[in-house]
Amino acid sequence: MDADRSQVHLHSYGYKRLVSNRYAETIRNSGFWVRLRENSYPGRKRESFIIYNLPKEKYEEVQAIQAVLSKKGVDIERVYFEKYGKHEYTEGNIGV
């Protein structure tokens, strides 16, 4: 893992643990720290999204996560800065 990379909080939202672990491994292989989470869904409409709290010069991390998940067939529909619903992230953290 790259110590300078952000930590990714991967929320499963009902995916089977095996599927979540596969996505987590894909993101880890890109150099990120990953923590699996099982919080409640923050919005009304179910969609794939990223919440990030990074300085502009690190936005390529969001794009890197989108790219590796896209290869696994997961399209990120929305990208939010800092918070979405009740989910909020401090600097250096990314929620997926």
Whether residue 75 is contained in a domain is answered as yes
Whether residue 2 is contained in a domain is answered as no
Whether residue 1 is contained in a domain is answered as no
- Higher-confidence residue of 46 and 68: namely 68
The tally of domains found in the chain comes to: 1
**How far is the C-alpha of 34 from the C-alpha of 46, rounded, in Å?**
22
Give 48's pLDDT tier (boundaries 50, 70, 90).
confident
Whether residue 32 is contained in a domain is answered as yes
Contact 74, 48 (CB under 8 A): yes
pLDDT tens profile 10-38:
887 666 777 788 889 999 999 999 988 87
**How far is the C-alpha of 61 from the C-alpha of 64, rounded, in Å?**
5
Mean pLDDT across the chain, nearest whole number?
Answer: 82
Indicate which CATH number applies to the domain containing 11: 3.30.70
Note down the domain range covering 68. 7-95
pTM beyond cutoff 0.85: no
- Residue 31 identity: G
